[in-house]
Chains A and B, each alone.
Chain A
């Protein structure tokens, strides 16, 4: 493997999780709905797994956890399921301008179904404007969905405040916690959020499983119709192997999150310091403090992000960019544009995300290889000003 600094895109499954899962492939494979003894054991396993995921977010009741196939489905169920259920109350939903593409596209889908979707703007750090949010709420508003943190630039949203506003106005509040769940503890008894999207892989569990947390009394209309599993809100035979792995990952994460986040935070600070110091005309995107401790999002003038990623790939470093050239639509990152960056500024962006298995030597290498890459691309670029080119040439002599 490369020096992997793209933890927001995918995380490895923890060995302890894999070990826990193995028996469920071919030894304990019964369906919890079955009435035989093996089925009863499976029911019990499912119950315990549900409890562990509930504990992970300090939810008092295991039943508040619905297992799904992952974060995308949880977000679909949260938004579409709430919209359908509350149709009589209203037709207005509020999201932010920098939501994950899943939420943005669900928003578009709901608009086509006749719902009205407002998008709260963000400031230059990518943090939502709380006053604008308040003003957007009207008597037809049924749901606010704002991610706990931006999956791109890592900005942390004022979740507690939003939760207060939502409960005061009697509007449901959903948050997608996928980008933050491995580094920021969630406590639903402290912050009474109505619906939370969780993903297994994002806490080092297997892919293909996730959860939607529903506060007591909150229900959604199902979007998958079938045998009525998960209290009728999410049909389909339970993915026991995945759920067991997810639960183990949640158990480990709950225990280790504080120390792990602190360790990652230190490495991340070293990375940010090292890069801003060694590369002229480099900037940090997002908020300097109110950001995920595992996120480092940079912008380099005069160069383009895809060629940056390609060059890093040659040095065996894996990272991500918000450049248009790397996207399917050739549009630059909506998040960067929403924070007020110009298109050409958004092109030169680079995202490093750190995780459980990132080492100090990974960070050292990442800091070491980047200046040379940036320099090479800047020498190629017609946008690089003469004085900077001269500096590069002088340094070579």
Chain B
């Protein structure tokens, strides 16, 4: 029996992975088709792997029409072929990464708890179960982990605040409302290693004394919903969720809740409102969600990647994780190469690599082959950077000094054909569409901004940006000026009428 891996994530599925899996299963040979998650080399999807004595041999992108020629060439024994990339682990794109959080993504069948355990799963939880809540939090503090959703707030401090707040009920909320264009690391993690996220949530629950967790998942990710719900059932069966986790007398449960297409519900307090079944209106802070969060109870709100980084921190210790990265940006971050890029996909790297190396070495330049004009880092609220910024190290502080943000790690590349005035106007328009409407600068400012930009009243636009920046309630209105101002500053020629 030959083991063949065919990924089952949204990207590979969209490229026809299901049909490829069926075609391989129908070959006149003894094959065992395993649906793994994705390694994140999206440009090679569907990436088919054959298990051989030397390791897993990769072929991609494989279309149904390629299966016959692969078979004739002897791919079932790892033979060479035009689509062959050698051993998966030796593919440069993957080899040059530092996979901590995403170590199992692509490697395992995401819903095989045996695979998970064989590859280091639950080592973090086993250790956490022997520690006090305070000791767990100390380890997370030591690791230097900061929120990977975009705001980069130290995770340990959030946990400590909830830990110290007395209440009869506390919650862990996982923010899986990955709305930024150009980002898909949460999706890949949830589709490829859902137990890892859940292990992180269980550890968080044990640390702060919360017994209930919610995953707030965006509705645009239907495959994630299916995989997460299956993963929860499996964990319940194996006593990793429930009233008595592995005989520890600790209780924890997880429920998946689906959003409804609102971008601003990725803002933590709007997310809480939405989880409560209400309009996703941003709340004023204080009170902090750590004091009064979901249903008025102390709540830890962390992004998917933050929570999924916790198991390895607990398994190897905070010091191990902290050894990666530079300055105050510790550990690794999952970058996502998107838009007009030749080799799009997920790159987990320690902080500190330059933007240019990320785009050129990993990404291989533009998909169109035309020179790069602009790069938007950090989602719709991130700055548009020009190639003369390519020496910027990807680290929170360096980006902040440059008036930019790393956000959730999305990197969207535009070639020469981009019209930066249109992009700036879109930033305002997107804010108009997605504003929750609670504060005036965001609700009205975004509409006026788009109008004034169109009319060429750039002085007014600058003043409006200043106002939105300083007086919006949350990052939606507060950060919309970032893409607008950066586009105006870096490409003044696009704003001449």
Q: Do A and B come from one complex?
A: no
Residues of chain B at the chain A interface (Cβ within 8 Å)? none
Residues of chain A at the chain B interface (Cβ within 8 Å)? none
